[in-house]
Amino acid sequence: MNPIPDEGKVVKNQKGERVAVYTDETGKAITLSAVCPHMGCIVTWNRKDKTWDCPCHGSRFDKTGKVLSGPAEKDLPIKETGKK
């Protein structure tokens, strides 16, 4: 699967964990935990607003995982891809 620039998607990594992957305009991927730090729900990609949104309690995060609105108070953690 070829990543689409300026889009995000939740996928499973090699360890079977759900990760939130955003591919920027240059093709560089940013891999984050897909688990909302508020209550542990899995975020989804909001294609219109280009944000990661939590369907459980409404927290929103920017493309790079920074909190935009709560109730979450912590950013989505960056996940290591294992690639060098």
26 a catalytic residue: no
Place of tokens 């730090």: 37
Amino acid at 49: D
> Which among 12, 47, 57, 66 is annotated as catalytic?
57
The CB-based long-range contact list for 57-62 (8 Å cut-off, 24+ gap) reads 61/32
Q: Which position among 9, 10, 38, 62 bears the catalytic label? A: 38
The question of whether 38 is a catalytic residue gets the answer yes
**Largest separation between any pair of C-alpha atoms in the chain:** 36
Residue with tokens 């939590």: 54
Give me the active site residues, please: 38, 57
